[in-house]
Structure 1
């Protein structure tokens, strides 16, 4: 074979290889692009509504002991530095917040030790607004749970069971925390209810009031029995009246500080 012919043969072979590689690369790029395009419509077609269940925490939000739950101190001034920064002093159990097992046990799990999978839960909402209209210290009891199950089906293991007492409408008024004569008064869970839920392996309970226990509780029976069992609670949920009885999923953005007995949380639901 002449040198010229050999050179042409090599060039032809190289061109063929380039075309093969280019075709493979193009096919790979097309596959990636198709995958990306396939993902976008899936996101765009999502119909779930996101509902914020979190009250804004400021110095005026009611707390159990009456002291402001948060304080601000300017750490960096914008006019002087071109950016701004606050130093915050926060009581763990302020605003919409989580109660970790450590809150009512000497060596229970801290808020940082809660399993991530326990913070995303099917949400079951039990309405006791009728009871709460007649009794400021009304409780969600075992009979309410049994009635809910008859109407809606079983409560799944790992669920969060939330009480809707209608108390969120009172935020910003003295009645959210007290009777006119200054006594604690707000709805909560009865121990009969939480004992029943514990047997169903429920992960969490949540209230739209200042506490898991009712305002007139003298012994915090629910706190003492529910939290040391390795479960957690959420207090001061917002917008709970906008949730369906079943079908929503709750996402609990719990804080993750060491030794935390709880802390303000950003809580949301997808309906």
Structure 2
């Protein structure tokens, strides 16, 4: 995501805020200076059920800046013997990855994400009730603590996803803005993602346009989570069909050089 009114703030922030995991060692993870952990020991036992967490990406899928994230034209047509589209894609559109490089001058690009982090235990924090009352509701530390009380510790290397019910709004203006035209959608609070970093999570995901709530003026989560060597996933689908714990997420991140992110195919297996 990118928006002209906050670009100057982003530029000021991206060089100064770099955080590493502080609690991974306490969880017994093999984390070193890069803050990267392996999720392999905590993967779910597969039953064969697969849930698609990816929205179909087209020219009208909502984007942060309101401009189409995809354009396509025929490069070769069937009367020439086969068919081939020419695609023009904005990196941060559709169901997509935010790589560390998105909010830091020298962070890891999307092609540099460790493959161990693309296969991870999935933890889902449900704030649907809060979001129904407040469109800019956030996952807060007490929501993380409640999840831990109910489900046990967050596995090292986990992907922690917010379920707000917002995915059902795709295709309507309210997915992006309120009646007054202001951004309005749920996200994480920085206090919650700071706690997740301490707990050793490797990635976060949301079923909305942004890791930060719509009314954020400073992209606090982007500016703290991503420069710490972690990544995010925006515009997830299908989280309402999954339990709070027990699934493994497969994150099909793109692999283009120097990418700040990009559309991804994301699946969960139970």
> Which TM bucket (shorter chain)?
0.7 to 0.9
Offset of 1:96 from its aligned partner? 0.2
Separation in 2 of the partners of 1:47 and 1:222?
A: 34
Q: Which residue of 2 aligns with 1:209?
A: 208
Q: Which residue of 2 aligns with 1:53?
A: 53
RMSD of aligned Cα (Å)? 0.6
3-state DSSP class of the match of 1:211?
A: coil
- 4+ residue runs over 4 A deviation: none
Separation in 1 of the partners of 2:68 and 2:155?
A: 37
Q: 1:160-194 deviations in whole A, cap 9, x for unaligned?
A: 00000000110100000000110000000000100
Q: 1:17-53 deviations in whole A, cap 9, x for unaligned?
A: xxxxxxxxxxxxxxxxxxxxxxxxxxxxx63201000
3-state DSSP class of the match of 1:263?
A: strand
- Are 2:70 and 1:70 aligned? yes
Return the TM-score normalized by structure 2: 0.83
Separation in 1 of the partners of 2:239 and 2:61?
A: 18
Within a 5 Å distance, the mapping from 1:117-266 to structure 2 comes to 117-266=116-265
Separation in 1 of the partners of 2:48 and 2:75?
A: 40
Return the TM-score normalized by structure 1: 0.82
Separation in 2 of the partners of 1:222 and 1:60?
A: 27
Within a 5 Å distance, the mapping from 1:3-152 to structure 2 comes to 47-79=47-79, 81-152=80-151
Offset of 1:264 from its aligned partner? 0.1
Q: Which residue of 2 aligns with 1:270?
A: 269
Unmatched tracts of structure 2, length 5 or more:
1-45
Select the structure that is richer in helix: 1
Task: Report which structure shows greater RCO (CA 8 Å, sep ≥6).
Answer: 2
Matched pairs, number: 225
Separation in 1 of the partners of 2:47 and 2:54?
A: 22
